[in-house]
């Protein structure tokens, strides 16, 4: 019997139920995966609470997993039974022991990438890729600000930005997280729960401001983040860990230095096979070379996903978290 975490209504972690599911056979262009590791991401919380709507209810959660192909549908040329693959893509439903997926959304894993590592990095790492390589191409000599620097996306982005030659300023909730961020490429961790991060960024940059801010915290940090940028700097608001950013007048961007602002989502940056392979290929390279280490600091049994959500929302996790079917 195959099991999955499903929700029948949106709400707190308690709405997640461990249920028996029927997986069936893959149709044309699809494969069936036996999943060996599932990634936990903050976006799963947004779907569970209803901040982002699920396609239907009851429904599954989870956007990222790795596993082994166990059946191949008609017309699939790129994959065969036994291939090790991973993905980071809608629709939600990755919290499952097995799953049918479109072959085109899967990436074959190189021999040097373990399935747990893949489940810990595909979504977070390809996000770091578009943040640092596409939205604002980080160059040697840049200074960037990365919020929640000890988190899943944060730890990967700090290491990658440092590898590209940037000076990295990061915000973190505690002193212990500051040490973790520092050990992963963050030159200047700021404990924003007690320090004024805008004042500290101004101080660190000699009043100049940073070239880009990568802000996944949202409501609590957005306005302050604008004040950390140099004129013509790039503001990337890409998450809502503290709540969604409220509406504001675009003229504010002119007042604060003709700033650029974008509110991206990974899935637009990986929607074509070319873009998906670019992001995954660059990620495999920096992880394979050791420039970026994927830290799996928490694992949970998949059926205990509710506890994993409590810990993620409670700011108790660092680095990546993997759920084990």
* Residues that bind ligand NAP in the complex, under the rule CB under 6 A: 41-43, 123-124, 127, 148, 150-154, 172-173, 177, 216-217, 220, 238-242, 264-266, 312-313, 315, 317
For the CB of residue 320, give the shortest distance to ligand NAP in the complex, in Å: 8
Least distance from C-beta 212 to ligand NAP, angstroms?
A: 15
**Nearest distance in Å: CB 49, ligand NAP:** 12
Decide whether 43 or 161 has the Cβ nearer to ligand NAP.
43
DSSP 132: I
By beta-carbon proximity to ligand NAP, the closer residue of 194 and 290 is: 194
Q: How far apart are CA 148 and CA 125, in angstroms?
A: 15
Would you call 39 helix, strand, or coil by DSSP? Answer: strand
CB of 277 to ligand NAP, least distance (A): 18
- Give the Cβ contact number of residue 271 at 10 Å: 12
Name the residue nearer to ligand NAP (CB basis): 98 or 312: 312
Closer residue to ligand NAP (CB): 19 or 179:
179
Query: Which residue's Cβ lies closest to ligand NAP?
Result: 151
Q: Rank residues 205 and 318 by Cβ distance to ligand NAP and give the closer one.
A: 318
For residues 33 and 83, the answer to whether their CB atoms sit within 8 Å is: no
If we measure between CA atoms, which residue out of 234, 253, 237 comes closest to residue 245? 237
What is the dihedral angle through the alpha carbons of 212, 213, 214, 217, rounded to the nearest 10 degrees?
-170
Question: At 305, is the secondary structure helix, strand, or coil?
Answer: helix
**Least distance (Å) between residue 321 CB and ligand NAP:** 7
Least CB distance to ligand NAP at residue 261 (A):
14
CA-based torsion, 120, 63, 154, 315: positive or negative: negative
Nearer to ligand NAP, 64 or 142 (CB): 64
Q: Which is nearer to ligand NAP, 166 or 178 (CB)?
A: 178
Question: Could you tell me the smallest distance in angstroms from the CB atom of residue 240 to ligand NAP?
Answer: 6
Q: Euclidean distance between the first and final Cα of the chain, in Å?
A: 13
User: How far is it, in rounded angstroms, from Cα 142 to Cα 247?
Assistant: 29
> At CA 65, angle to CA 214 and CA 239, rounded to 5?
20
Backbone angles phi, psi at 42, to 5 degrees: -60, -30
The span from the CA of 312 to the CA of 316, in Å, is: 6
């Amino acid at each position: 019997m195959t099991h999955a975490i499903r929700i029948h209504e949106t709400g707190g972690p308690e709405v997640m139920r461990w249920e028996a599911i029927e997986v069936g056979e893959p149709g044309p262009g699809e494969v069936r995966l036996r999943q060996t590791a599932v990634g936990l991401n903050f976006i799963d919380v947004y779907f569970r609470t209803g901040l982002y709507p699920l396609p239907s209810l009851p429904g599954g959660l989870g956007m990222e997993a790795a596993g082994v192909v166990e059946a191949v549908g008609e017309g699939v040329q790129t994959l065969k039974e036994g291939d090790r693959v991973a993905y980071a893509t809608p629709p939600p439903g990755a919290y499952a022991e097995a799953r049918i997926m479109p072959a085109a959304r899967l990436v074959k894993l190189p021999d040097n990438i373990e399935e747990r590592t893949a489940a810990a990095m595909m979504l977070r790492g390809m996000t770091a890729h578009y943040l640092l390589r596409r939205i604002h191409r980080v160059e040697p000599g840049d200074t960037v600000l990365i919020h929640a620097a000890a988190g899943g996306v944060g730890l990967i982005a700090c290491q990658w930005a440092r590898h590209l030659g940037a000076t990295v300023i990061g915000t973190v909730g505690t002193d212990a997280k500051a040490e973790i961020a520092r050990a992963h490429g963050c030159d200047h961790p700021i404990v924003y729960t007690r320090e004024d991060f805008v004042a500290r960024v101004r101080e660190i940059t000699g009043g100049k401001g940073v070239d880009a801010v990568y802000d996944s915290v949202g409501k609590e940090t957005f306005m302050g983040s604008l004040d950390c940028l140099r004129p013509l700097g790039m503001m990337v608001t890409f998450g809502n860990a503290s709540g969604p950013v409220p509406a504001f007048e675009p003229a504010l961007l002119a007042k604060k230095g003709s700033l650029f602002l974008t509110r991206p989502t990974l899935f637009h940056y990986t929607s074509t096979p070319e873009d998906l392979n670019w992001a995954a290929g660059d990620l495999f390279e920096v992880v394979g070379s050791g420039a970026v280490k994927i830290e799996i600091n928490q694992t949970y049994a998949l059926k205990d996903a509710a506890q994993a959500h409590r810990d993620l929302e409670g700011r108790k996790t660092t680095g990546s978290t993997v759920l084990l079917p």
